[in-house]
């Protein structure tokens, strides 16, 4: 079993920045990433990163968001910049190994 603890969400004005963190309870070879879900919409991929550092981004966030991970700390980060109101959502951390594990979600609200 793996627990994921997220932090860093909040309220920010359009054009601003936020950094999300997600700490896993133990070290595990895995892909980690972030998804988000806006009200009335399906959960969608934001970005993923594997143990080797290879990344994948949704087109909507390319050039604005950066995912990174610190394997020594079992932590993945999402640096979000040039935020837009349409980035408003609950952001969920995901860890995929043999099983999938989800964090509890953290709210990001971008005001116009």
Instruction: State how beta strands 75-80 and 10-13 pair.
Output: unpaired
Residuewise pLDDT in 10s, the chain (112 residues): 899 999 999 999 999 999 999 999 988 888 999 999 999 999 999 999 999 999 999 999 999 999 999 999 999 999 999 999 999 999 999 999 999 999 999 999 999 9
């Amino acid at each position: 079993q793996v627990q994921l603890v997220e932090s860093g969400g909040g309220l920010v004005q359009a054009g601003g920045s936020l950094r999300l963190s997600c700490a896993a309870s133990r070290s595990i070879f895995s892909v980690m990433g972030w998804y988000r879900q806006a009200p009335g919409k399906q959960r969608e991929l934001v970005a993923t990163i594997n143990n080797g550092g290879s990344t994948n981004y949704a087109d909507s966030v390319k050039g604005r968001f950066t995912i990174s991970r610190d394997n020594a700390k079992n932590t993945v980060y999402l640096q979000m910049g040039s935020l837009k109101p349409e980035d408003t959502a609950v952001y969920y951390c995901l860890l995929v190994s043999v099983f999938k594990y989800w964090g509890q979600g953290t709210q990001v609200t971008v005001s116009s």
